[in-house]
Amino acid sequence: MSNSEIARVLQETADLLELTGGNPHRARAFSRAARSLGNLQDSAVDRLGDGTLTDVSGIGEAMADHVAEIAGDGSFDLHDELLSSVPPGLMDVMQVKGLGTKRTRRLWIELDVTSLDDLEQAAKNDQVTTLDGFGAKTQQNILENVRQLRRYNERWRLAEAWAATEPFLQDLRTEGAVERAEFTGALRRHRETVEYAEVLAATEQPNAVQDWARARLKDPTARNSSSQIEGTLEEGVPVRLHLISPGQFGTAWWRTTGSPAHCTAFEDTCGAPAPHAREEGVFAEANLPVIPPELREDRGEFDLAGDSPPALLTQEDLHGCLHNHSTYSDGSNSLREMAEAAQDRGFSYFGICDHSQSLRIAEGLSPEEVQRQRAEVDRLNEDFAEKDPQFRVFHGIESDILRDGSLDYDTDVLDTFDFVVASIHTGFNMTEEEATQRLVRAVENPYTRILGHPTGRLLLQREGYPVDHARVIDACAEHGVALELNANPYRLDLDWRWIRRATSQGALVSINPDAHAAQKIDYLRWGVAVGRKGWLTPDQCLNAKSLEDFTQWLDEEGP
DNA sequence: GCCGTTTTCGGCCCGACTGTTTTCAGTCG
Task: Convert the pLDDT of each residue in A253-281 to its tens digit.
Answer: 999 999 999 999 999 999 999 999 999 99
Of A441 and A39, the structure prediction assigns the larger pLDDT to: A441
Q: What pLDDT does A388 receive?
A: 83
Long-range CB pairs of A406-410, under 8 A, 24+ apart, other chains included: A406/A441, A406/A442, A406/A445, A407/A356, A407/A442, A407/A445, A407/A447, A407/A448, A408/A356, A408/A357, A408/A358, A408/A359, A408/A364, A409/A356, A409/A357, A409/A367, A409/A370, A410/A367
- Bases of chain B with protein Cβ within 7 A: 1-3, 11-21, 25-29
Cβ neighbours around A23 below 10 Å, total? 10
Q: How many residues does chain A have?
A: 559
Nearest-CA residue to the C1' of B12?
Answer: A25
Q: How sure is the predictor about A462, in pLDDT bands with cuts at 50, 70 and 90?
A: confident
Average pLDDT over residues A368-396: 94
| Cα separation of the two ends of chain A | 49
Asked if A475 and A466 touch (Cβ cutoff 8 Å), the reply is no
CA A54 from centroid of its chain's CA atoms: 30
Which of the nucleotides lies closest to A30 (Cα–C1')? B1
Asked if A483 and A459 touch (Cβ cutoff 8 Å), the reply is no
The answer to whether residue A172 scores a pLDDT higher than 80 is yes
SS3 of residue A392 by DSSP: strand
Q: How sure is the predictor about A6, in pLDDT bands with cuts at 50, 70 and 90?
A: very high
| A184 DSSP β-pair partners | A198
Which of the nucleotides lies closest to A138 (Cα–C1')? B19
CA A439 / C1′ B17 distance in Å = 20
CA A30 / C1′ B12 distance in Å = 13
CA A14 / C1′ B24 distance in Å = 25
Which of the nucleotides lies closest to A66 (Cα–C1')? B1
Q: What pLDDT does A4 receive?
A: 86
Which of the nucleotides lies closest to A403 (Cα–C1')? B16
Nearest-CA residue to the C1' of B25?
Answer: A133
Strand A482-486 relative to strand A448-451, pairing: parallel
CA A448 from centroid of its chain's CA atoms: 24
Which of the nucleotides lies closest to A18 (Cα–C1')? B26
For the ranges A91-95, A298-302, A327-331, the lowest mean pLDDT is seen at A327-331
Nearest-CA residue to the C1' of B28?
Answer: A98
CA A423 / C1′ B15 distance in Å = 18
Distance separating alpha carbons of residues A215 and A312, to the nearest angstrom: 39
The answer to whether residue A205 scores a pLDDT higher than 90 is yes
DSSP letter for each residue of A364-378: PBPHHHHHHHHHHHH
Distance separating alpha carbons of residues A381 and A369, to the nearest angstrom: 18
C-alpha distances out from residue A143 to A103, A124, A151, A489, Å: 15, 8, 13, 28
Average pLDDT over residues A161-181: 97
Q: What pLDDT does A303 receive?
A: 86
CA A7 / C1′ B2 distance in Å = 16
Asked if A438 and A400 touch (Cβ cutoff 8 Å), the reply is no
Asked if A454 and A471 touch (Cβ cutoff 8 Å), the reply is no
Q: How sure is the predictor about A305, in pLDDT bands with cuts at 50, 70 and 90?
A: low
Q: How do residues A397-425 score in pLDDT, each as one tens digit?
A: 999 999 889 999 999 999 999 999 999 98
CA A337 / C1′ B12 distance in Å = 29
C-alpha distances out from residue A52 to A1, A42, A57, A516, Å: 17, 11, 11, 22
- DSSP state at residue A273: P
Put simply, whether the predicted model's pTM sits higher than 0.75 gets the answer: yes
Asked if A532 and A312 touch (Cβ cutoff 8 Å), the reply is yes
- Phi, psi (deg, nearest 5) at residue A58: 95, 0
Average pLDDT over residues A497-510: 97
Q: In this structure, what is the dihedral angle of CA atoms A358, A361, A367, A372, given to the nearest 10 degrees?
A: -160
